[in-house]
Amino acid sequence: MVSTPTLPAGSVGHVETRFADLPDPVRLDCGRELGPVRVAYETYGTLSPERDNAILVCHALSGDAHAAGYSRTTPEAGTRDGFGAERRDGAAGRSLGWWDGMIGPGKAFDTDHYFVISTNLLGGCRGTTGPSSVNPATGRPYGSDFPVITVADMVRCERAFLDTLGIERLAAVAGGSLGGMQALEWAVLYPDQVDAVVSIASTHALHPQGVAWNMIAREAITRDPAWQGGHYHGTGRSPDAGMGVARMVGHITYLSAPALADRFDRRLQFTEDIRYTIGEPEFEVESYLRHQADSFVKRFDANTYLYLSRALTYFDLARQHGGGSLTRALAGVSARTLLIAFSSDWLYPPAASQEIEEALRDLGKPVEYHLIEAPYGHDCFLLEEAQQTPIVRRFLADGRARTEKPS
């Protein structure tokens, strides 16, 4: 990490994605074992001599290990295009981390205090082993031979990865959306190893409409003939058409209707009057969506989309750990929990965070729930840094105060 005078204040500077090979296979919920497993990761800040200041940040469906700072590197495995193309800085092809506004000196996850670790999750396509990685049994990419994974599998993989860094306990585990699911799963699977959980714009189980949107996105990919049953690698064809549709569906569910109206209204793309076209974009919102789809398919693997989408629809703390009861599922949690939801988020609506809050409160566990009024929908967790930052900083500072008191 090198700091240069051209970097804005609060930046962690230039970073590089690194890779760790897990010593053992990962045992999966589906009954299979997966190995070898490589994990792509980045770190920001400095690990304390006591190794007690590590925060694991978990990304959402389309994220990667590059959470903060500027990167010039491109992880080789599984990517089909430049890293973070949509976030690329104008100057020198530098690409900004997906949660840069939240991670850095003086930011929500303050690298003056914490050693922040970000990994690409299991099943990913940005350096961690996933469906586009080489299957040692065949010498070719797994494709749909990759085992079906769960959020718990991702967390087990993260646990094994932290072992390679010699980190036993986490001061916190944090994430938004699918990342927030991982944070909650950490608190349940490893209650003695997590001091605090920060779960943002997330849920204990996606509601049926969210299940439906994810199913439609997956169908858009698997119905594309270029998907070829999942074995498109090396064929010269890939299901870009279906992936584009999947991304467009996802994109609209990440935004709120008022945010779309504010930004695009019903403005036409090129002329003052309609052009009477069926297939071409006519409204600005149509053109925007097509652009989002085109840039996404260049940087993301379709199978990874399928596997992660399935994992997040399967995620259900009550079913997995509580025999149907969320309270029972959370009974063993010992971490302090911070839940943040956004008023306009209809994909991961505030009600789900409130259900988690109530269950933890019934159990007498320390929990805070904050509802942030913000208009952008689910994407607020990536955009509303100003409102999230003081909440997260104070929550983490409370944790430091507790650990310091006894000494």
89 annotated ligand binder? no
Nearest Cα residue to 353 out of 211, 214, 198? 198
CB of 212 to its own copies, least distance (A): 5
Residue 203: helix, strand or coil by DSSP? coil
- Kindly tell me the burial class for residue 246, based on how many C-beta atoms sit within 10 Å of its own C-beta (0-12, 13-18, 19 or more): buried
User: According to the binding rule CB under 8 A, does residue 316 interact with its own copies?
Assistant: yes
CB nearer to its own copies: give 30 or 397: 30
CB nearer to its own copies: give 102 or 245: 245
90-115 in b/e burial notation, b at 16+ Cβ within 10 A? Answer: eeeebbbbbbbbbbbbebbbbbebbb
Residue 337: helix, strand or coil by DSSP? strand
User: According to the binding rule CB under 8 A, does residue 125 interact with its own copies?
Assistant: no
Applying CB under 8 A, among 30, 35, 294, 361 the residue interacting with its own copies is 30
| Beta strands 38-44; 109-110: pairing state | unpaired
| Beta strands 109-110; 103-104: pairing state | parallel
Residues 245-274 that bind its own copies (CB under 8 A): 245, 248-249, 252, 257, 260-261, 263-266, 274
> Which residues are the active-site residues?
177, 345, 378
Contacts of 351 (CB under 8 A, 6+ apart): none
Per-residue x/- marks for its own copies, 135-174, CB under 8 A? ---------x--xx--------------------------
CB of 239 to its own copies, least distance (A): 10
CB nearer to its own copies: give 104 or 350: 350
CB of 323 to its own copies, least distance (A): 11
Long-range contacts of 260-269 (CB under 8 A, 24+ apart): 260/285, 262/375, 264/288
Task: Give me the DSSP letters along 30-50.
Answer: TS-EE-S-EEEEEEES---TT
Calculate ∠ Cα 9-126-382, nearest 5°: 45
CB nearer to its own copies: give 216 or 331: 216
Nearest Cα residue to 8 out of 58, 84, 68? 68
- Kindly tell me the burial class for residue 383, based on how many C-beta atoms sit within 10 Å of its own C-beta (0-12, 13-18, 19 or more): middle
CB nearer to its own copies: give 235 or 277: 277
Q: Residue 370 is encoded by which pair of tokens?
A: 């904050």
247 annotated ligand binder? yes
User: According to the binding rule CB under 8 A, does residue 289 interact with its own copies?
Assistant: yes
Nearest Cα residue to 177 out of 398, 27, 401, 381? 381
Applying CB under 8 A, among 4, 271, 277, 407 the residue interacting with its own copies is 277
Per-residue x/- marks for its own copies, 201-240, CB under 8 A? ----xxxxx-xxx-xx-xxx-xxxx----x----------
CB nearer to its own copies: give 32 or 80: 32
CB of 51 to its own copies, least distance (A): 36
Question: Which residues of the chain form contacts with its own copies (CB under 8 A)?
Answer: 29-30, 144, 147-148, 205-209, 211-213, 215-216, 218-220, 222-225, 230, 241-242, 244-245, 248-249, 252, 257, 260-261, 263-266, 274, 276-279, 281-283, 285-286, 289-290, 293, 306-307, 310, 313-314, 316, 319, 346
* Residue stretches of the annotated binding site for substrate: 247, 379
